[in-house]
Amino acid sequence: MATLRKRNGKWQVQVRRMGHKPATKSFRLRADAEAWARQVESEVERGIFVDRTFAEWSLLKDVLARYGAEVSPSKACYKTDLSRIKPFMPEGQDRRLAPGEQDLLESVLQESPGGLAAFVLALETAMRRGELARMHWEHVNFADSTLRIPYTKTGRSRVIPLSARAILILKSLPRHLSGSILNMKPDSITQVFDRACGCQSISNLRFHDLRHEAASRLFEKGLNTMEVATITGHRTLQMLQRYTHLRASDLVHKVG
């Protein structure tokens, strides 16, 4: 069954069918939304529906990056693959959230408590996707507003401060018997985020870009390099600079 609603000047349509994940997409014209809904419902009925959200909203360089990280390492020609992929993936992407994008994404992610929590916590803590997926309630200390991250990409554990909003979003989540806070796998976090971007026609934004955004916001709040590195877990200034892109307009008050 398809449902339509107008949000932020666009028609958002969602098709729900028993045994299938909801399919959602946004259009400028209602007629286009209705036509897409009919097509999806027809494909579901015939058993040929394939969710194209990821494919439609993925850039070539993002697909190649995923291939290089997940497929190439198991191949004998790993180094050759990387040398071929590198020209398509310029380093240092400085994609930050544009004004209004956070609100747009949060409005869609309301339907997924875990996805919303992952999004908010990524912005509030600069945690990596894998670190978010591995969070357990035993790692949270509400008394002093901190979170212990025992397993990191660098192999070193760290304890980070939690903002008021991070605490609020954590307390809003249900408790699972497993002890996992999000109860989501890393790939699931990405899929929920990518679908939200697709629903709001937000392009060229990866979940990992939220780490860039979070680190930049920490600097804009006035934290120094060592303080930011303590939160993000970067071991060198050079590594931290790759994830940090300050807006010049936000620094005007500092230069007088």
The question of whether 20 is a catalytic residue gets the answer no
The question of whether 243 is a catalytic residue gets the answer yes
96 burial type by CB count under 10 A (0-12 exposed, 13-18 middle, 19+ buried)? middle
- Choosing from 134, 195, 212, 234, the catalytic residue is 234
Lookup: tokens for 52: 């194209």
Rounded to 10 degrees, the C-alpha dihedral 235/236/237/240 comes to -50
- Choosing from 25, 128, 134, 206, the catalytic residue is 128
**d(Cα 140, Cα 188) in Å, to the nearest integer?**
22
Between 186-199 and 113-125, two packed helices, what is the crossing angle to 10 degrees? 100
Reduced to 3 states, what is the DSSP secondary structure of residue 11? strand
Q: Identify the DSSP state of 136.
A: B
- Choosing from 46, 153, 253, 254, the catalytic residue is 153
Q: Identify the DSSP state of 4.
A: E
**DSSP H or E segment with residue 59:** none
The question of whether 153 is a catalytic residue gets the answer yes
Closest residue by Cα to residue 249 from 216, 214, 203, 202: 216
For residue 230, count other CB atoms closer than 10 A to its CB. 15
Strand partners, 180: 136
- Choosing from 10, 195, 211, 217, the catalytic residue is 211
**d(Cα 253, Cα 256) in Å, to the nearest integer?**
5
Cα–Cα distance list, 56 to 53, 97, 122, 153 (Å)? 5, 20, 24, 30
- Choosing from 139, 208, 242, 245, the catalytic residue is 208
- Choosing from 10, 25, 195, 243, the catalytic residue is 243
The question of whether 211 is a catalytic residue gets the answer yes
The question of whether 206 is a catalytic residue gets the answer no
Angle at Cα 210 formed by Cα 207 and Cα 212, nearest 5°? 125
The residues annotated as belonging to the active site are 128, 153, 208, 211, 234, 243
